[in-house]
A and B are shown apart, each in its own frame.
Chain A
Amino acid sequence: NAGVTQTPKFQVLKTGQSMTLQCAQDMNHNSMYWYRQDPGMGLRLIYYSASEGTTDKGEVPNGYNVSRLNKREFSLRLESAAPSQTSVYFCASSRDSDLSYNEQFFGPGTRLTVL
């Protein structure tokens, strides 16, 4: 039981390049999330998917797109990377979206540097 897995673990891009961050969970969770973590700013929600087939914007969606490929997989795409997108990206999942009773399980993160 791997929980939430993310690939790649590290990535360096040049400004303007594109890439997709992959996330998969094996807990049969309905909801999945993408966050970015920057020093002194905590975790900020980029996009989330409450259930298979739905996606919604979070606090900082500009410059990103997402795809809920199936119940297990939720990918994050940077179409034209910018230095401001240098960050650590975390994927998370939860059984449902009711935060009062469900914990979010996080992956190990992807450390992205945009030069």
Chain B
Amino acid sequence: TQLLEQSPQFLSIQEGENLTVYCNSSSVFSSLQWYRQEPGEGPVLLVTVVTGGEVKKLKRLTFQFGDARKDSSLHITAAQPGDTGLYLCAGDSSGATNKLIFGTGTLLAVQP
């Protein structure tokens, strides 16, 4: 079974701080997605990265796909209370379809 491990599992920070969440695997992924899930709701896609070394920015969020396509990171600059939620990475290793492997998640709490 392929695993996607996320670290840290939990993160509680003050508004305005920066943070980085990591997503690591021993497997190569053809693409990797990041989702955010708020309490009582389903995950919502933030970004998809496809090329090794690719960097994508979404306002204060920066996503990077590792050169070897085995890992990814999410960096948040000047965190806001609205960033609070569960962040999930999900990799597609089949290159074909239907086989998204989800990470264990990072629960972020941003205190005002």
Contacts and interface: CB of A to CB of B under 8 A. Distances in A.
A41 B104 contact: yes
A43 interface: yes
Interface residues of A, number: 30
B41 A109 contact: yes
B43 A43 contact: yes
B98 A50 contact: yes
A19 to B, nearest CB: 20
Contacts of B99: 45, 99
Contacts of A104: 45, 100
B44 interface: yes
Nearest to A43: B102
Nearest to B1: A59
Nearest to A48: B98
A68 to B, nearest CB: 13
A106 B42 contact: yes
Interface of B: 1, 4, 9, 30-31, 33, 40-45, 48, 50, 88, 90, 92, 96-100, 102-105
11 contacts: A33-B98, A45-B98, A45-B99, A50-B97, A90-B43, A97-B96, A97-B97, A99-B30, A103-B33, A104-B45, A105-B45
Interface of A: 4, 31, 33, 35, 40-45, 48, 50, 56, 58-59, 90, 92, 96-101, 103-109
Closest 10 CB pairs of A and B: A106-B42, A97-B97, A42-B102, A103-B45, A43-B102, A99-B92, A100-B31, A42-B104, A48-B98, A106-B43
Given A100-B50, A109-B42, 4 more contacts: A45-B98, A96-B97, A107-B42, A108-B42
